[in-house]
Chains A and B, each alone.
Chain A
Amino acid sequence: MPESILVLTHTDESGLLTKCSLETVSAGKELAERLAAPLTIGIIAAEPTSAAQALRGCKARVLSVCGEVFAQARYATDVAGCEALYKATDATLILAPQSSRIARVAAGFANRIAGSIDTHINSIRSTDSVEVSRWFYRQRIEASMTRSARPWILLIEGGVYPAFTPGEGEVLPEKILVELPEIHTTVIGTRAPAQDAQTIRPDARMLFVAGAGWTKKQPDGEVHTSQAGDLILTFLDRTGASLGSSKSLVDQGGDGQPVLPFLTHMNQVGQTGSTPRHPRGLATCCHGEEPHVVGWRFISERRAISLDPNCGWTRGKADVVYVADAFKVMAQLNELLGSKA
């Protein structure tokens, strides 16, 4: 059965195509070339013309659903937009970024078009059939699979493909009419968690993982939560690292134990948290499986500081483990980083 490919993209607050969208364009372009399949790119945006210029030289048909209702992410309108783009193409394979906006609507969209969907895709291969890979059980088992049914929607994880680089020329997207449903939801905007500074930085080169040991009794028999907080924030400030945390550390707030005030569940990595992608990761005071196995599955270079020389979870997972007191090491490290700044 000949395939035809639709890549769904969307804009961010600035009106430009998101990085994740451009990565999915690369994935779609590569797949279209391998399958010799026609490629269409669909844009969901309030105003698609300027966003479409990021697709110059893509050699694809470009469609858009546009208008003020698409300025913000909302289930009812976005799912209608996706459906309209699909109906204009009748694609057999639909690729879309694994962004919060698309992830909110993609399964509902699949149901509407009687299609199948697989999410968090980290590779696509095509030989006799299209085969994809994804993780199961929170990044602990990797499986590859295929489906014969079409249409098949695939949400592509960020960071898997390079972002598409535009070439020459001008792109004029064809506007597709959308039958809008009754709207019951109004998007007010976005809100950052109540904390002094944003500590979640998806584009940072480094992930700093704080474990529960930071708020436990230290060798002098006392807890030093305030000092721990200062050390961590200073490190983040001097390196621009993103902050991840183990579940046990975040949960302490609910249990009435000493807490680091800038931590929220949004910082949590691991089984019930995120699995961020950064080139480097430094875990401190973590003892347990989740930060080491699940939380930094996609961290390339990994180091850890732990007082426990027998911490089996780091063995085989980290590149280097320093058996040391993280309070002392981080104080020295901050001093060194400060003197270099």
Chain B
Amino acid sequence: MPLHIVVCAGIVPDPLQTLEPITGPNGPALKNEMMLPAVLDPWAASALYEGANLAGKNQGSRLWLVSLGPKAKLQQVLMTIAQKVSFELFAVDSPSGGFADAHATAAALSEAIAAIPGLDNSRLLLFGGWESASRGAGVTLQIIGERLGITDQFMGVDQIDFREDGSFEVLERVEGGRHQVSVCSGAPAVLGWATGNLPEPRNNPQIGMANMRTVMPALQKAKLAALSNGSLQYLSASLPAQQRQTRVVKDMPPEAIAQELAEWIGGE
């Protein structure tokens, strides 16, 4: 059955960058945010790779990547991502970041998705990360789903298996390192992905060339969206102040280290 898969994926600072909060005109922000190298949000990237895999298995399926962020940063990240899987881009030009309100982000994204030409809601699978690496709230995707009228939602998804009748089995992460197994009768549905099971695809310049033919025009057409924080007011944003006095133990034989650790483990 051909599917219409829409993947919502934002961009976040490269995880290895040092982050420092500052107070901007609209609340907290990151110091030198526009200078920090960015990557596609890791859990949303899992969603993109899983979506591309699923679209490849279901002939006639289409895959859209919907991303909200500053146009220049999106372009930088897409130069890499576009080489991994085929997709059609829908971009929303907007300042993004962890301190933006998820409600406003969800409203802008749901409007962008509703405006995708040719999107068939009865075949729609809305993918994204179950949480972002910036705000990490796990809110945006659910609200988009609600705004689009989708009442089958799954979060922390690691696996989806489609059946011939269009239904699918889905594995969601629950407490204690287990998965909840559910069967949904079919699209439309929202799936917030955890890591899934697929490795990151290798860069393929041919896919990149094909994607860039549509990515650049899509970026040029990206509509500007101003995100309001509504009633949300930040009072402070700071790095954790606590620094531990680390005792570095060198030249201690393994037996002595083991003894010390055993006492520590056994102690109350």
Q: Is the CB of A319 within 8 A of B138?
A: no
Residue of A nearest to B180 (CB): A190
Cβ of A24 under 8 Å from chain B: no
Q: Which residues of B contact A289 (CB under 8 A)?
A: 15-16
Stretch at the interface among A56-64, A86-94, A134-142: A134-142
Cβ of B174 under 8 Å from chain A: yes
- In Å, the complex CA distance between A147 and B104 comes to 14
Residue of B nearest to A79 (CB): B151
Q: Is the CB of A119 within 8 A of B139?
A: yes
Of B169, B183, B237, the contact of A141 (CB 8 Å cutoff): B237
Of A186, A267, A316, the contact of B244 (CB 8 Å cutoff): A316
Q: Is the CB of A148 within 8 A of B143?
A: no
Q: Which residues of A contact B136 (CB under 8 A)?
A: 120, 135-138
Stretch at the interface among A29-37, A161-169, A171-179, A198-206: A198-206
Cβ of B265 under 8 Å from chain A: yes
Q: Which residues of A contact B143 (CB under 8 A)?
A: 107-108, 110-111
Give residues 65-105 of A contacting B (CB, 8 Å): 73-76, 79, 99-101, 103-105
- In Å, the complex CA distance between A141 and B178 comes to 29
Residue of B nearest to A140 (CB): B19
Cβ of A50 under 8 Å from chain B: no
Q: Which residues of B contact A184 (CB under 8 A)?
A: 151-152, 184-186
Q: Is the CB of B248 within 8 A of A323?
A: yes
Q: Which residues of B contact A189 (CB under 8 A)?
A: 180-181
Cβ of B42 under 8 Å from chain A: yes
Stretch at the interface among B85-93, B119-127, B217-225, B226-234: B226-234
Given A141-B237, A198-B177, A329-B258, do A185 and B133 touch, yes or no (CB 8 Å)?
no
- In Å, the complex CA distance between A251 and B49 comes to 15
Of A111, A136, A317, the contact of B134 (CB 8 Å cutoff): A136
Of B19, B181, B197, B243, the contact of A191 (CB 8 Å cutoff): B181
Q: Is the CB of A149 within 8 A of B230?
A: yes
Q: Which residues of B contact A290 (CB under 8 A)?
A: 15
Cβ of A314 under 8 Å from chain B: yes
Q: Is the CB of A316 within 8 A of B15?
A: no
Stretch at the interface among A1-9, A39-47, A218-226, A330-338: A330-338
Cβ of B216 under 8 Å from chain A: no
CB-CB contacts of A105-137 with B at 8 A, as 1s and 0s? 111101110001111100000000001000111
Q: Is the CB of A185 within 8 A of B176?
A: no
Q: Is the CB of B181 within 8 A of A265?
A: no
Q: Is the CB of B246 within 8 A of A100?
A: no
Q: Is the CB of B99 within 8 A of A302?
A: no
Q: Which residues of A contact B234 (CB under 8 A)?
A: 143-145
CB-CB contacts of B237-255 with A at 8 A, as 1s and 0s? 1111001111111111011
Q: Which residues of B contact A137 (CB under 8 A)?
A: 12-13, 19, 98, 133-134, 136
Q: Is the CB of A303 within 8 A of B261?
A: yes
Instruction: Tell me how many residues of B have a C-beta within 8 Å of chain A.
Output: 90
Q: Is the CB of B235 within 8 A of A185?
A: no
- In Å, the complex CA distance between A330 and B254 comes to 8
Q: Which residues of A contact B176 (CB under 8 A)?
A: 198, 200-202
Q: Which residues of A contact B12 (CB under 8 A)?
A: 137
Residue of B nearest to A316 (CB): B243
Q: Which residues of A contact B246 (CB under 8 A)?
A: 314-321
Q: Which residues of A contact B214 (CB under 8 A)?
A: none
Give residues 227-274 of A contacting B (CB, 8 Å): 239, 251, 254-255, 265-268, 271-272
Q: Is the CB of A185 within 8 A of B185?
A: yes
Cβ of B28 under 8 Å from chain A: yes
- In Å, the complex CA distance between A147 and B27 comes to 13
Stretch at the interface among B51-59, B76-84, B154-162: B154-162
Cβ of A159 under 8 Å from chain B: no
Q: Is the CB of A141 within 8 A of B172?
A: no
- In Å, the complex CA distance between A146 and B246 comes to 35
Q: Is the CB of B174 within 8 A of A119?
A: no
Q: Which residues of B contact A108 (CB under 8 A)?
A: 142-143, 145-146, 153
Pull 10 A–B residue pairs with CB atoms less than 8 Å apart, ordered by A.
A103-B155, A116-B231, A118-B137, A145-B235, A148-B233, A191-B178, A193-B177, A202-B175, A272-B195, A323-B249
Residues of B within 8 A of A (CB): 12-13, 15-16, 19, 21, 28, 42-43, 98-99, 102-103, 106, 133-143, 145-147, 151-156, 158, 169, 171-186, 194-200, 230-240, 243-252, 254-255, 257-259, 261-262, 264-266
Known: A75-B152, A111-B147, A272-B43. 6 other contacts (CB 8 A): A104-B155, A107-B137, A145-B233, A185-B152, A297-B240, A320-B246
